[in-house]
Amino acid sequence: MVLLRMNLSPAVLSLLLCAAPAFAQGAAAPQAAPPAEPVAPVAEPAPAAAVTVDAPGLEATAAPTRLGARERGIQFAAGAAATLVTVPAGMLLGGAIGRLSNDYASVAPFSLLTWLVLPAAGAALAEWWMGNELLEGSTRLQPAAWVALGMNLVLVVAAIAGGVNAQNPLHLSLFSLASAMVIPGAVTGAMVLWDDAGVSPAAPPAALLETGRPRPTLAATATLLEVPL
């Protein structure tokens, strides 16, 4: 109606009527959003770091890796007790084997072997067992067993040369006491020498820390703070 009152020509009026829808669509179209600013990459959160804190009143102690003097004394006593039993048993058993036949050449080796092996094996096994009972894995059977065998061989030769008679209680007691000092002493000395030489003095400290209770652990977790730019 406004256009008709303006006395426009029919051609101009038709042109305005055709362009009106286009202007209406352009006015209603939404404005394009401005381009977004680039966002800086966000770093991954750092892994949690474990902080170990010692509980008050607890002291870390290094686990022993070898036997001390007291434990070696107990080990020697075990070997001496075994020797006091096996020396008379070996001598009496060897004498009994020797009397089984009149052919001494055939039975003498078995008699001497019994007298030789039984005390050495008894002392070595007793000390090996006691050492590992006191501290697991601290004692090896070899070469201490061979040292005991060699020492007992020396004692047997000395007893034969000195005329020790197994049927004489005094001879048997004195020889057993002497053997109970010499054979276990040699075994203990061999174990101290070879067992301690096989232990590394520089053990990992983490593997040697022992406490009476579990050590408390505080876990600290790193978090990422995002600040908008």
- Note the pLDDT tens digit of each residue in 87-124: 999 999 988 888 887 777 788 888 888 989 999 999 99
Per-residue pLDDT, 156: 92
Structure confidence at residue 34 (pLDDT): 57
User: Bigger pLDDT: 64 or 140?
Assistant: 140
Amino acid identity of 193?
L
More confident residue, 189 or 109: 189
Lowest mean pLDDT of 2-11, 96-105, 110-119, 158-167, name the range: 2-11
The token pair at 89 is: 């048993």
- Determine the pLDDT at residue 174: 94
Domain spans, the chain: 69-196
Helix (H) or strand (E) run with residue 219 in it: strand 217-220
What does pTM read for this prediction? 0.58
Alpha-helix runs per DSSP H in the chain: 2-5, 10-28, 69-98, 104-134, 144-162, 169-197, 205-208
With a cut of 70, say whether residue 218 has pLDDT above it: no
Q: What is the mean pLDDT of the chain?
A: 74
- Reported as a single tens digit per residue, the pLDDT across 56-83 is 454 545 566 788 899 999 999 999 999 9
Comparison of pLDDT for 97 and 150, the residue scoring more: 150
